[in-house]
Amino acid sequence: MATIMNAAVCYGFKKPLVIDRILIDEPRAHEVEVKMTACAICHSDILYMDGAWGGRLPTVYGHEAAGIVVSCGSNVTHVQQGDSVIISLLRSCGICFFCNRGLSNLCEYHFPTDQPRRLQGLNGIDIHRGLGTGCFAEFAVVHQSQVVKVPTDMKPSTASLLACGVITGYGSVVHTASVSPGDHVVVIGVGGVGINCIQAAAYCSAATVTAIDINEDRLNSAKRFGATHAVNSQQDDPVDLILSLTDNRGADFVFVATGNPHASNRVFLMLRRGGKLILVGMPPVGADFKFEAVNFIDANQSILGCKMGACNLQSDIPELLNLYARGEFEIDELVSTEFSFENINDALDATRNGVGLRNVVVFWFQHPTVRIELVEWKCNRLFYFWNTRMTQTNINRILSMEDRLKTSKSTEINILQIRKPASWLPLKSSLRFGFTCDRKSNKTSQKFSVSVLWITLRWYWHCFCRW
What is the reported pLDDT for 377? 32
Maximum Cα interatomic distance, the chain, rounded to a whole number of Å = 101
In which residue ranges of the chain is CATH 3.90.180.10 found?
3-162+331-362
Phi/psi at 159 (nearest 5 deg)? Answer: -60, -35
Q: Residues 312, 145: contact at Cβ < 8 Å?
A: no
User: CATH 3.40.50.720: which residues of the chain?
Assistant: 172-306
Q: What does the pLDDT read at residue 430?
A: 34
Provide the pLDDT for residue 287.
84
- Reference 171, options 329, 287, 406; nearest CA is 329
Mean pLDDT by 10 residues, the chain (467 residues): 91 96 96 97 93 93 96 95 97 96 95 94 94 96 97 96 97 97 97 96 98 95 96 94 96 93 83 96 86 92 95 96 96 95 96 92 58 33 35 48 44 32 33 35 33 36 37
pTM for the whole thing?
Answer: 0.78
Q: Which CATH topology does 172-306 take? A: Rossmann fold (3.40.50)
Picking from 211, 162, 169, the residue whose alpha carbon sits closest to that of residue 190 is 211
What's the confidence (pLDDT) of residue 431? 34
List strands edge to edge, sheet with 271-279.
229-232, 208-213, 184-188, 251-256, 271-279, 302-305
CATH number corresponding to 3-162+331-362: 3.90.180.10
